[in-house]
Amino acid sequence: MSDFRLELASFCGMNCNICSGYLAYSRNIPKERGKISHCIGCGPRNKKCSFLKGRCPYVKDVQFCFECAEFPCESLKTLDKRYRTKYDMSMIDNLNEIKSNGVDKFLQNQREKYRCLNCGGVISVHNKKCYDCEKIENWRE
Provide the pLDDT for residue 30: 79
The answer to whether residue 84 is domain-embedded is yes
The answer to whether residue 123 is domain-embedded is no
Pick from 45, 44, 50: nearest CA to 7: 44
The answer to whether residue 138 is domain-embedded is no
Q: Which residues constitute the domain of residue 71?
A: 8-113
Question: Could you state, in chain order, the average pLDDT of each consecutive group of 10 residues for the chain (141 residues)?
Answer: 78 92 88 79 70 74 90 93 96 97 96 94 92 63 37
Alpha carbon distance 1, 117 (integer Å): 11
Alpha carbon distance 80, 90 (integer Å): 5
Provide the pLDDT for residue 42: 78
Structural domains in the chain (count): 1
Neighbours of 45 (CB within 10 A): 12
Provide the pLDDT for residue 45: 67
Provide the pLDDT for residue 107: 96
The answer to whether residue 32 is domain-embedded is yes
Per-position DSSP letters for 22-53, written without gaps between them: HHHHHTTPPPBTTTB-----TTTTT-S-TTTT
Provide the pLDDT for residue 136: 57
